[in-house]
Copies of this chain bind each other. A is one copy, B any other.
């Protein structure tokens, strides 16, 4: 099991060991995260929706795994360096989403909660 707090510590130690905190400002890390999201997009850019499964089975899954891991590492680091408790934030967001999107009203609908009938 990999928990977010252990990951946060491990990624923080990695930076400390290399004296990288000086580079890891919040905005630097957000730009780095954008770079990795761009690499995720690049993997999928020429593959129509109905060809994605084929791409994944043809080596794409491994490449995607690497880039998703990079996004996660920078995301954890952005949170850490900005004093955000990511564990708490995701707990709060899931609880909030549960309220914003009641099962009966949002079933089978891609509408934003602000557009759901009430």
Among A44-86, those with CB < 8 Å from B are 44-50, 52, 56, 61, 64-66, 68-73, 75, 78-79, 82-86
| Cα–Cα, bound, A67→B84 (Å) | 11
- Take A2-B87, A4-B4, A68-B79 as given contacts and tell me if A25 and B49 are in contact as well, using a CB distance cutoff of 8 Å: yes
User: How many copies are assembled?
Assistant: 4
Contacts of A103 in B (CB 8 A): 17-18
Contacts of A56 in B (CB 8 A): 26, 82-83
| Cα–Cα, bound, A27→B69 (Å) | 17
Closest to A68 in B: B79
Among A68-118, those with CB < 8 Å from B are 68-73, 75, 78-79, 82-94, 97-98, 101, 103, 106-110
Contacts of A97 in B (CB 8 A): 14
Is there an interface contact between A40 and B30, defined as CB atoms closer than 8 Å? yes
- Take A28-B46, A46-B23, A49-B49 as given contacts and tell me if A92 and B69 are in contact as well, using a CB distance cutoff of 8 Å: yes
Mark each residue of chain A from 36 to 47: 1 if its CB lies under 8 Å from any CB of chain B, else 0. Answer: 111111101111
